[in-house]
């Protein structure tokens, strides 16, 4: 029983606005290319495991279709609903991040406890939920920051003057957010999951930034992060070896057959591609040379098969997606929508940037998957769900005034 338009509230009417077609198309195209890329990159792995060569492709395609449907359905939801949901999502993700430590798995395969298995949904990484949860919650709260009542200490309190001053200068405002980020980050580092932590921090920071938190926090945070990074890189042996391998992958003590192996194989793949690539499906590096060729390093295979031109096209599609994302953000009907979209878009952009930087050895390696491309069903679903949220926001963009 569909209600007739005039029976709807204003809000309901707004949520039935037109979806942003460019953004939708970009998502669909990227998902399609991604699924096809998985097909090419995964079949030697599947065959080697004694599976149907199309095994991974079929699964990924299934998740892709389901994910796109889910995205559409989510886009139909009035995104204001997410405000209320956000605290719930964040809470659940923190619970899951706690649960993953004793009940998760992954220690044996990647050396980190990152996955958890739930009935019906199957195995997934709680960190994926945490990213969305943080962004949703931050966006929901920060959109109200101008109307929030500022707490005051009792006037007689010895620190009330200082407190008031700090409050006025915005020193106090981000502290609750930092605490949340801290909790999430610590939980993820216990898995450990460095790259996931970075993404959560980036997602949260982007919302904080866009919302208008005082810039000195970012200057200070940036300085702190740089100092920390510098310390880790120079003072810890773990990062020192990573750094050495980043500078020269062959210098891993086994002439490129140990820790430098994966990045070397990735470079071989990308380099072999040349301008136009060796042709779709004709990658050689995927034949058990390049580890994780259907996962984190899927872009290397894409570069090998499609060449610089193919790689550039994909990156340009990502750029367009990101730009359109920010466009939706700045046109969003309210601040919550804007911040939500800014968070999701930035998260996606950073993920793409980091993944491609790693496979091209632009930065030291860290395990970040490529959105829409890397094999992984729930990751793709969550990715598309996030896109659904963006589309949901896009529906409520006010139509331009007709002059």
Partner 1 sequence: MAQRKKGNRVIRQRPDRRANRTILIRSLFLMAIFGLLAFIPLFVKLWQIQISQHEYYQDLAVQQQTRDSTVTANRGTIYDSNGEVLAMSATVYNVQLSPRDLVETQESYQKAVEKAQESGGKLPDYPEPTDQFIAENLAAILELEVEDVLDHLQNKNSQYEMIKYRIDPEESDAVQEFITENHLSHGIYLMPTSKRYYPKGSLAAQVIGWVNPNLDNVGAYGLEAQFESELSGQTGRVVTAKDGVGTELLYRFEDYYDATDGDNLTLTLDATIQSYCESILQEGVEQFDVQDGGFCIAMDPNTGAILGWANSPTYDPNDPWTVSDPVLQAYLESVKSNPASNEAAYQKALAEGCSAEEAAEASISNAKWVVQNAQWTNKAVTSSYEPGSTFKSVVLAAALEEGVVSESDHFYCSGSVMVEGYDDPIRCSDRDGHGDQDLAKAVANSCNPAFIAIGQRLGAEKFYDYLEDFGFLGPTNIDMQGEPSSGGQIVWSRDSFTNVDLAVASFGQRFNVTPLQLITAASAVVNGGHLMQPYVVSQITDADGNVIQHTEPTEIRQVVSERTSERCRTILEKVVDGGTGKNAAVEGYRIGGKTGSSETTETDHTIVSFLGFAPADDPQVVILLAYDNPKPAYPGANVTADQWYISGGNMAAIKAGELLEKILDHLGVEKSYSANDDVLVPNLNGLNLADATSALQKNNLTIRTVGDGDTVTGQIPANGASIPGGSEVVVYMGVDVPTDQVTVPNLDGLSMDQAKQRLSALGLYLKATGATEYGSNVVAYDQSIAAGTSVDRGTTVEVRFTDSTASGAGL
Chain residues binding partner 1 by CB under 8 A are 10-11, 44, 48, 145-147, 206, 209-212, 267-275, 284-285, 287-290, 303, 307-308, 311-312, 315, 318-319, 322-323, 326-327, 329-330, 333-336, 338-339, 342, 345-346, 349-350, 353, 356-357, 360-362
Handedness of CA 275, 281, 287, 291 (dihedral sign): positive
**Least distance in Å: CB of 33 to partner 1?**
17
DSSP state of 182: H
Contacts of 120 (CB under 8 A, 6+ apart): none
Which lies closer to partner 1 via its Cβ, residue 307 or residue 376?
Answer: 307
CA 55 – CA 77 distance, rounded (Å): 33
For residue 117, list its beta bridge partners: 123
**Least distance in Å: CB of 257 to partner 1?**
9
**Least distance in Å: CB of 309 to partner 1?**
9
Which lies closer to partner 1 via its Cβ, residue 118 or residue 362?
Answer: 362
Whole-angstrom Cα Rg for the chain: 23
Asked if 203 contacts 129 with a C-beta cutoff of 8 angstroms, the reply is no
**Least distance in Å: CB of 371 to partner 1?**
13
**Least distance in Å: CB of 210 to partner 1?**
5
Which lies closer to partner 1 via its Cβ, residue 115 or residue 318?
Answer: 318
CA 246 – CA 175 distance, rounded (Å): 36
User: Alpha helices of 173-297 — where are they, by DSSP H?
Assistant: 175-190, 194-211, 215-235, 237-247, 261-273
Residue 115 DSSP SS3 = strand
**Least distance in Å: CB of 280 to partner 1?**
15
Instruction: Record the tokens describing residue 119, joined without a space.
Output: 């009935």
**Least distance in Å: CB of 265 to partner 1?**
8
User: Alpha helices of 248-372 — where are they, by DSSP H?
Assistant: 261-273, 298-331, 335-359
CA 205 – CA 89 distance, rounded (Å): 18
Asked if 340 contacts 139 with a C-beta cutoff of 8 angstroms, the reply is yes
CA 381 – CA 128 distance, rounded (Å): 10
Which lies closer to partner 1 via its Cβ, residue 241 or residue 360?
Answer: 360
Which lies closer to partner 1 via its Cβ, residue 100 or residue 354?
Answer: 354
Which lies closer to partner 1 via its Cβ, residue 113 or residue 361?
Answer: 361
Which lies closer to partner 1 via its Cβ, residue 56 or residue 318?
Answer: 318
**Least distance in Å: CB of 169 to partner 1?**
16
Which lies closer to partner 1 via its Cβ, residue 9 or residue 236?
Answer: 9
**Least distance in Å: CB of 26 to partner 1?**
13
Torsion angles phi and psi, residue 123, rounded to 5: -80, 135
CA 323 – CA 336 distance, rounded (Å): 19
Contacts of 84 (CB under 8 A, 6+ apart): none
For residue 116, list its beta bridge partners: 124
Q: How far is CA 283 from the centre of its chain?
A: 27
Which lies closer to partner 1 via its Cβ, residue 71 or residue 267?
Answer: 267
């Amino acid at each position: 029983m569909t209600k007739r338009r005039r029976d709807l509230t204003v809000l309901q009417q707004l949520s039935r606005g037109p979806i942003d077609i460019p953004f939708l198309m970009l998502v669909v195209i990227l998902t399609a290319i991604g699924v096809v890329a998985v097909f090419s990159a995964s079949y030697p792995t599947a065959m080697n495991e004694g599976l149907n060569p199309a095994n991974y492709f079929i699964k990924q395609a299934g998740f892709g279709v389901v994910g796109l449907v889910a995205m559409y359905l989510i886009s139909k939801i009035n995104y204001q609903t997410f405000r209320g949901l956000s605290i719930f999502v964040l809470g659940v993700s923190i619970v899951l991040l706690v649960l993953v430590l004793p009940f998760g798995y992954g220690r044996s395969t990647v050396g980190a406890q990152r996955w958890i298995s739930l009935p019906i949904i199957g195995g997934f990484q709680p960190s994926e939920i945490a990213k969305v949860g943080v962004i949703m919650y931050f966006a929901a709260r920060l959109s109200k920051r101008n109307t929030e009542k500022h707490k005051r200490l009792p006037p007689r309190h010895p620190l009330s003057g200082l407190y008031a001053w700090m409050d006025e200068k915005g020193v106090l405002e981000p502290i609750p957010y930092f605490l949340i980020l801290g909790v999430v980050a610590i939980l993820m580092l216990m898995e450990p999951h460095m790259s996931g932590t970075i993404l959560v921090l980036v997602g949260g920071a982007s919302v904080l930034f866009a919302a208008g938190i005082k810039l000195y926090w970012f200057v200070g945070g940036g300085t702190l992060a740089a100092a920390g990074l510098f310390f880790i890189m120079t003072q810890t042996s773990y990062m020192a070896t990573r750094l050495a391998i980043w500078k020269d992958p062959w210098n891993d003590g086994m002439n490129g057959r140990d820790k430098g192996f994966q990045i070397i194989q990735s470079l071989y793949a990308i380099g072999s591609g040349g301008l136009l690539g060796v042709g779709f499906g004709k990658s050689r590096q995927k034949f058990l040379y390049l580890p994780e060729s259907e996962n984190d390093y899927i872009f290397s295979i894409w570069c090998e098969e499609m060449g610089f031109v193919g790689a550039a096209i994909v990156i340009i599609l990502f750029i367009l997606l990101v730009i359109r994302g920010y466009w939706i953000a700045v046109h969003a009907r309210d601040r919550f929508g804007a911040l939500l979209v800014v968070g999701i878009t930035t998260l996606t952009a950073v993920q793409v940037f980091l993944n491609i930087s790693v496979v091209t050895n632009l930065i030291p390696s860290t395990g970040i998957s490529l959105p829409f491309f890397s094999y992984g069903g729930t990751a793709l679903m969550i990715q598309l769900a996030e896109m659904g949220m963006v589309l949901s926001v896009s529906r409520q963009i006010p139509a331009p005034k007709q002059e």
